[in-house]
Amino acid sequence: MDIEALFGLSGKVVLVTGASSGIGLHIANVYAQAGAKVALAARRRDRIERAVAELGQHGYSAVGVYLDVTDSASIASAFQAAESHFGAGIDVLYNNSGMIYQKPFLEQEETEIARLFDTNLKGAMLVAQEAARRMAMRGSGAIINIASTAGLRAGGMLSSYGASKAALIQLTRVMALELASKGIRVNAICPGNIETDMQESLKAFEQALIRRTPMKRFGKAEDLDGVSLLLASDAGRYMTGAAIPVDGGQALAWM
């Protein structure tokens, strides 16, 4: 058995949303190192251009595309730009764009709730639809939705965020059910507390969260490398509809 080929992505075209920073940027680099041609999609053009330039310096194939996940026209344009650049369809979507804020349930404002759901749920769904339509025409593809352990268990002051991620997990299951016949696998990764810019709002609670995590630490972006490669590659070819926690056991401890 060729393990490197099993987990490798040589010849694959991958689109990563939210690729200008954090988990998205890190995984875009991991996929490039695994042999994929990578489209880094985000709203912050300067950051993705810088990231693409750095990948190019290492000999990797990458392109930056502007993408606003709340705008269906922007989504279609991003996919078209990526496919035109590489001359091939998107094989893997890493559906990573998201946002978080913490506020007590009774203090959350309508505009904040709407913005979060537009990004975390509606945006993820619109991007997945665009990817799935294109993949279905070729009869193959993999979609990886980035959910959260907040969608698996309750956490204080995360009502909107947790609800959006729980809905994304359920969406993943329904997509997997409907798209299997079209050759498309759909799975979700549920990270716990990963050290990124997005987690800065949790700094005040860091020690309390670590105490409630069996492995007694926050995760790092590289802790997601293995599962991200598994679900994108042939190693995960018989997996669909899964929601995999990567959280140091946090979800177990909070059950």
Mean pLDDT of 152-166: 93
pLDDT at 201: 58
Mean pLDDT of 90-113: 96
Tell me which residues are annotated as active site.
161
pLDDT tens-digit series, residues 33-82 = 999 999 999 999 999 999 999 999 999 999 999 999 999 999 999 999 99
Mean pLDDT of 149-178: 95
In the structure encoding, which two tokens stand for residue 3, read together? 């393990």
Q: What is the DSSP string of 102-142?
A: ---GGG--HHHHHHHHIIIIIIHHHHHHHHHHHHHHHT-EE
Domains delineated in the chain? 3-253 (3.40.50.720)
Q: What are phi and psi of 21, to 5 degrees?
A: -165, 175
Residue type, 23: I
Which residue in this structure is represented by tokens 């344009």? 77
pLDDT band for position 206 (cuts 50, 70, 90): confident
Angle at CA 6, nearest 5°, toward 54 and 24?
A: 35
For residues 243 and 146, what is the distance between their CA atoms, to the nearest angstrom? Answer: 9
Instruction: Give the up-direction half-sphere exposure of residue 33: CA atoms within 13 A in the CB hemisphere.
Output: 11
Predicted confidence (pLDDT) at residue 255 exceeds the cutoff of 60: no
Residue among 3, 187, 48, 186 nearest 38 (CA): 48
pLDDT band for position 211 (cuts 50, 70, 90): confident
b/e string for 210-243 if b means 16 or more Cβ within 10 A?
A: eeebeeeebbebebbbebbbbbbbebbeeebbbb
Mean pLDDT of 207-213: 82
